[in-house]
Amino acid sequence: MTLIAPSILSADFAHLGQEIKKVSKAGADWIHIDVMDGHFVPNLTIGPCVVQDIRSYSALPFDVHLMITNPQDYIQAFAKAGADYITVHIEADTDIEKTLSLIKKEGKKAGLSVKPDTNISRLIPFIPFIDLILIMSVEPGFGGQSFMPTALEKIVTVKELTKRKNIFISVDGGINQLTAPACQLAGADILVAGSYIFKNASYQKAIQTLKEGK
């Protein structure tokens, strides 16, 4: 069954800990945490101190998605704060292999993400060093955007590139009851959903609908 990772970008930040507790009890598999610096993407969100503060509200894996410039400078801080997976962008102006190595050195799982306009072929040299590939199906920066169908082709391509390898394929952006089945059919292992879950009256129903793909 597909794993569901609610993105707390769409949660009520005034009650963030309780929101995380609620989606955990509602059947979420992971918690997706978007970190933005106002430079790599045009938005600001949270830092390691917030991750540390919310860590006690759920035992689920935390995938910390670093949409930031110079991610290598923050790997240790987010690792200590409680991240289980740390996902960086291949488009970040940094030594990607070295950054992935830093994540592994901290004892964490390493993820690599690609924006909608980035060619999947750029991932190929790094496949031996990663545990997760995150395909953005919207332009990173803000929640509530519409799903870009071109992401489906990328999922299929990544599935082929990573077959027989223990690498999760995750997709993030515009995930709802209509787009989830197509992503699952293409080969996605994890669906990151923000607005669809947190704007739904029943977190449990929303999560179950995404898992079932209908």
16-25 and 203-212 are packed helices; what angle lies between their axes, rounded to 10 degrees? 50
- The CA-atom distances, in angstroms, between 53 and each of 57, 58, 127 are 8, 11, 32
The C-alpha angle 50, 55, 61, rounded to 5 degrees, equals: 120
Cβ contact 126:90 at 8 Å: yes
Q: Among this protein's residues, is 34 annotated catalytic?
A: yes
- Quickly tell me which residue has 């993820």 as its tokens: 111
The residues pairing with 192 across neighbouring beta strands, listed in sequence order, are 5, 172
Spell out the alpha helix ranges (H) of 69-173.
75-81, 96-105, 150-161
Choice among 63, 131, 172, 189 that is catalytic: 172
- The CA-atom distances, in angstroms, between 99 and each of 74, 84, 153, 162 are 10, 15, 27, 20
Take residue 77 and report the two structure tokens written for it: 């801080």
Q: Among this protein's residues, is 172 annotated catalytic?
A: yes
Choice among 12, 34, 37, 131 that is catalytic: 34
CA distance 114 to 101: 18
Backbone angles phi, psi at 5, to 5 degrees: -120, 95
- The residues assigned a catalytic role are 34, 172
